[in-house]
Amino acid sequence: MSPTYALPELTTGRAFTTWQADPFGLALIVLLGGLYAWGVARVVRRGERWSVGRTCAFALLGLGAVAVATLSSLAVYDRVLFWPAAVQNILLDLIAPLGLALGDPLSLARRALPARGAERLEKAMRGPVVRVLTYPLISTVLVLATELCIYFTPYFETALRDGAVHRLMYLHLLAAGSLFVLPMLTREELLPSWCSHPVRALLVFLDGLVDAVPGIVVMTSGTLIAGGWYSAQQRDWGPSPDRDQALGGGLMLSIAELVGLPFLIAVFVEWRRAEGARTAELDRRLDAELPTVPAAPTAEAAGHPAPELTRPWWETDQGVVGERFRRGAP
């Protein structure tokens, strides 16, 4: 039998003011934020610079999305209504990975770790397992399969019943989303050589279309997702189970489409930075390879008198015509 949760009606005011101190969510935020802060401190302590914008993206968009998904009213009401759970999952699957990837944690880790640790990290990133999981087509399929598996298998209802499975689902969503987003935005080479920035922009565009599929399927499905669980929540407020699921699918679709444009812009920004860095490196290489041609020695340095400069003919002509020109010349 499904347990019931006696919660007051989810109003607009409660949507912004209702929060919970979930230990798992807090631990995840503190762990990720602490590691990132440690890396930034290590880099700055060595006299190097680290982008403030990347730090803000990691903290505000990345960790902020994790906090909203696990601590806000979405997490409080996800066992009573479907649509908060749908928004919660899409935050962990799309928005949080985008914010974390914009912080470029892999480049930060490589610069902050000791030489041996950085070498191990680079070796792991170039290993076959990471290469397969981050391969663009495979990572896209994994994201789609994760969403469909959660909603159209007993996975989701089991997560609603079991707190440990619920937390595992959080990590599953966050990891699946990061497998696609992180390689697209990091400055580390995780993608195949053919995946240039124009190809990445095309893949991000196609991924935006794929991300819309779960929302459409959920919104139009004639079968209630976790219907036994949500029907047992005997509430006298809010939408009906059918309307609740349609609302959740619509929100999933809307958020997925809204995230696509900032993601595409971020890829174009990284493309521009990469081209600027490549041009600067090419200029430095050409400057280094340009031979220095020694200046030709002057006639005085070679021990010969300097040749007389060519003068107009009337100044050197000794005849009558030259004399007349010299008299009439200004």
pLDDT at 209: 80
pLDDT at 170: 92
Mean pLDDT across the chain: 83
d(CA 63, CA 28): 9
Higher model confidence: residue 321 or residue 25?
25
Query: Residue 221 in 3-state DSSP?
Result: coil
Higher model confidence: residue 27 or residue 224?
27
Residue-wise pLDDT for 119-175, tens only, equals 888 888 888 888 888 888 888 888 888 888 998 889 999 999 888 999 999 999 999
pLDDT at 46: 87
Q: What one-character DSSP code corresponds to residue 134?
A: T
CA distances from residue 215 to 86, 206, 252, 279, 330 in whole angstroms, order as listed: 9, 16, 5, 42, 92
pLDDT band at 58 (very low <50, low <70, confident <90, very high): very high
CA angle 215, 29, 186 (to 5 degrees): 70
What is the share, in percent, of the chain residues with pLDDT greater than 70? 85
Give yes or no for residue 96 having a pLDDT over 80: yes
Give yes or no for residue 22 having a pLDDT over 80: yes
pLDDT at 315: 66
pLDDT at 275: 72
9-18, 33-42, 120-129, 276-285, range with the lowest pLDDT: 276-285
pLDDT at 292: 54
Query: Residue 147 in 3-state DSSP?
Result: helix
71-75, 78-82, 261-265, 280-284, range with the lowest pLDDT: 280-284
Give yes or no for residue 28 having a pLDDT over 70: yes
pLDDT at 137: 83
Residue-wise pLDDT for 292-320, tens only, equals 555 555 555 555 555 555 666 656 666 66
How long a stretch of residues is the chain? 330
Residue 214: half-sphere exposure toward Cβ, Cα within 13 Å: 29
pLDDT at 285: 74
d(CA 321, CA 210): 94
Higher model confidence: residue 260 or residue 85?
85
Residue-wise pLDDT for 113-125, tens only, equals 888 888 888 888 8
Q: Which of 274, 281, 287 has its CA nearest to residue 196? A: 274
d(CA 14, CA 285): 60
Neighbours of 308 (CB within 10 A): 6
Residue-wise pLDDT for 185-221, tens only, equals 887 777 777 777 788 888 888 877 888 888 888 888 8
The stretch 229-251 carries a mean pLDDT of: 86
Neighbours of 41 (CB within 10 A): 12
pLDDT at 92: 93
CB 70 within 8 A of CB 25: yes
Higher model confidence: residue 3 or residue 13?
13
pLDDT at 304: 57
Q: Which of 143, 146, 54 has its CA nearest to residue 102? A: 54
Give yes or no for residue 238 having a pLDDT over 60: yes
pLDDT band at 329 (very low <50, low <70, confident <90, very high): low
Helices (H), the chain: 12-17, 23-45, 52-56, 64-71, 73-77, 82-90, 96-102, 105-112, 115-125, 128-133, 136-152, 155-161, 163-185, 197-220, 227-232, 241-289, 313-316, 320-328
Give yes or no for residue 290 having a pLDDT over 70: no
